[in-house]
Structure 1
Amino acid sequence: MIDIVADMGEGFGSYSIADDSRLLDLVSSANIACGFHAGDPQIMSKTVKQAVEKGVGIGAHPSFPDLVGFGRRKIDATPWEVTTDVLYQLGALSAFTKAHGGKIQHITPHGALGNLVAIDRNYANAVLDAVESFDPKLIILSQPDEFLFAAKERGLKTAAIMFADRSYNDEGRIVSRSEPNAVLHDPEIIVQRCLNMVIEQKVTTITGNKIKVQGNALLLHGDNKGALELAEKIKASLVDAGVEIQGIEKQLFL
């Protein structure tokens, strides 16, 4: 059983990155940009509306306030700034989920913020403070990292995520985009690796070693060339192998 999730709503104004409408037909959950690294009121509303209509679980994808850098630049923010920035973004997304009859299912930080919560408890706790004050029932979706560990210590719901097209290091973390070969592009390799991660719970690292990996969700990216066709192949291969596609919320309550 696996949740297929993708980042969405990451356009801005007249600019779009991915075909979210088609991608929503393939996934069971979506991480929706909340306006700080991408997204605007119109895009957020449209993406949320379509997700609700298609029964796709909605996740908040907050980031540092960095539209120019797409949220991938580190900002030296205080814990209070991080907490209030995340609360602001949760509030914005919540307005659209309420308007369209949905709800926020989970939260997973984007870009540099996501990288920092994974290794720094100060950032992790700042985001979790926002979650607890907003809605402690939200699922924390992340790698097995400091963010996930801190959430478990607080008694929050957690789910682990695996990456379809990102390289892993021997410690089980994804390789930084600043490093060579951090992103995989060969469709056959990506499809087989997804099958291995979901069914065998193993992944080959960037150094060629096989390590154990386990998760409730598989993240696909819809902003690369041929991404939709690849997403279709991945989903079809999983289903053919007997894997049930099921949202994380339903998984945790089975």
Structure 2
Amino acid sequence: MAQNNSPLRIDLNADLGETTAGNPVSDDAAMAKIVSSANVACGFHAGDPHAISQTIAAAQANQVTVGAHVGYNDIAGFGRRFIDYAPAELADETLYQIGALEALCKSRGTSVRYVKPHGALYNTIVHHEQQARAVIDGIKAFGDLPVMLLPGAYAAEYATSQGLRVIQEVFADRAYNPDGTLVSRREEGAVIHDPSVVAERVLRMATSGEIEAIDGSVLTLEAESVCVHGDSPGAVDMAAEIKNTLESNGVQVGSFL
């Protein structure tokens, strides 16, 4: 993982900006004081312009790197349902979302520094080549922004071929299949809720690049960033415990940029 850096360092990211119509799903202000990167919703899977702008302000106040959390146009399903897009349409929607977030960032004196696909889109472009190319093409049309992806994803391979930096990511509170993909949220045990267990898993990821899969096998995952889900129960306490565990064991928390 980050073991090539001296001192040891890793990024913590969280999905923020997902408040829609005044209904928050996470404590963005509190999370912005803990994480080093914020994947900010762009209004397609969640988030409205005013709430998104407030999240950007919290990130800016805490020197947190802002990324565009692009997703399927599916607020009703929170972006967690597959949509069979025409590639050109998906590319345009990806570009549109980044541009909208950049406008709000600019008003707050900051800018979009990277892109991370959300939910079903994130998982789909691990293997779906047409959608992966469409998303990366949409990002490339905006500019040479780094893109945060699951290690081994086809989208990561294609992004690299297009000259984009790939930020490989692991998930703090999600169970992994033996092939390195995430266990479906529909399956029992897909999300880990014990903060101490999650913190120890993240420490192992950061120091040895290893994580235990749901069947007990050990995976080797190279990654620069760890995702802490802001909408999970007790997310703030979990994020704080992860950060404290890392820093007390000599691992610095900081942006990958």
Give your verdict on TM over 0.5.
yes
Q: For residues 134 and 232 of structure 2, what CA distance do their matches in structure 1 show?
A: 32
Counterpart in 2 of 1:98? Answer: 106
- Unaligned ranges ≥5, structure 2: 1-8
Q: For residues 184 and 116 of structure 2, what CA distance do their matches in structure 1 show?
A: 17
Are 1:160 and 2:165 counterparts?
no
Contact in 2 for aligned 1:61/1:110 (Cα 8 Å) = yes
Name the amino acid aligned to 2:148: L
Structure 2 residue aligned with 1:134, among 123, 142, 162? 142
Structure 2 residue aligned with 1:151, among 146, 159, 171? 159
Counterpart in 2 of 1:122? Answer: 130
Counterpart in 2 of 1:193? Answer: 201
Name the amino acid aligned to 2:189: N
Structure 1 residue aligned with 2:184, among 176, 183, 191? 176
Matched residue SS, 1:80 = helix
Q: For residues 124 and 235 of structure 2, what CA distance do their matches in structure 1 show?
A: 27
Counterpart in 1 of 2:239? Answer: 231
Q: For residues 41 and 172 of structure 1, what CA distance do their matches in structure 2 show?
A: 35
Structure 1 residue aligned with 2:75, among 67, 91, 107? 67
Counterpart in 2 of 1:222? Answer: 230
Are 1:51 and 2:59 counterparts?
yes
**CA RMSD across the alignment:** 0.9
Alignment: residue pair count? 248
Q: For residues 160 and 53 of structure 1, what CA distance do their matches in structure 2 show?
A: 26
Give per-residue Cα distances to partners, 1:133-187, cap 9 Å, x unaligned. Answer: 1112x11111111111111111211111010000011111111112221111122
Q: For residues 110 and 180 of structure 1, what CA distance do their matches in structure 2 show?
A: 21
- Displacement after TM superposition at 1:226 (Å): 1.6
Q: For residues 133 and 141 of structure 2, what CA distance do their matches in structure 1 show?
A: 12
Contact in 2 for aligned 1:32/1:59 (Cα 8 Å) = yes
Q: For residues 230 and 115 of structure 1, what CA distance do their matches in structure 2 show?
A: 24
- Displacement after TM superposition at 1:112 (Å): 1.1
Structure 2 residue aligned with 1:15, among 5, 23, 39? 23
Contact in 2 for aligned 1:198/1:214 (Cα 8 Å) = no
Counterpart in 2 of 1:252? Answer: none
Report percent identity of matched pairs: 39
Give per-residue Cα distances to partners, 1:108-136, cap 9 Å, x unaligned. Answer: 11111111111111111101111111112
- Displacement after TM superposition at 1:57 (Å): 0.4
TM-score normalised by the chain length of structure 2: 0.94
Higher relative contact order (CA 8 A, sep 6+): 2
Which stretches of structure 1, 4 residues or more, deviate above 2 A after TM superposition? none
Counterpart in 1 of 2:6? Answer: none
- Displacement after TM superposition at 1:188 (Å): 2.0
Are 1:107 and 2:115 counterparts?
yes
Q: For residues 189 and 28 of structure 1, what CA distance do their matches in structure 2 show?
A: 21
- Unaligned ranges ≥5, structure 1: 250-254
Structure 2 residue aligned with 1:241, among 234, 246, 249? 249
Name the amino acid aligned to 1:146: Y
Give per-residue Cα distances to partners, 1:25-54, cap 9 Å, x unaligned. Answer: 000000000000100010111111221121
Matched residue SS, 1:30 = strand
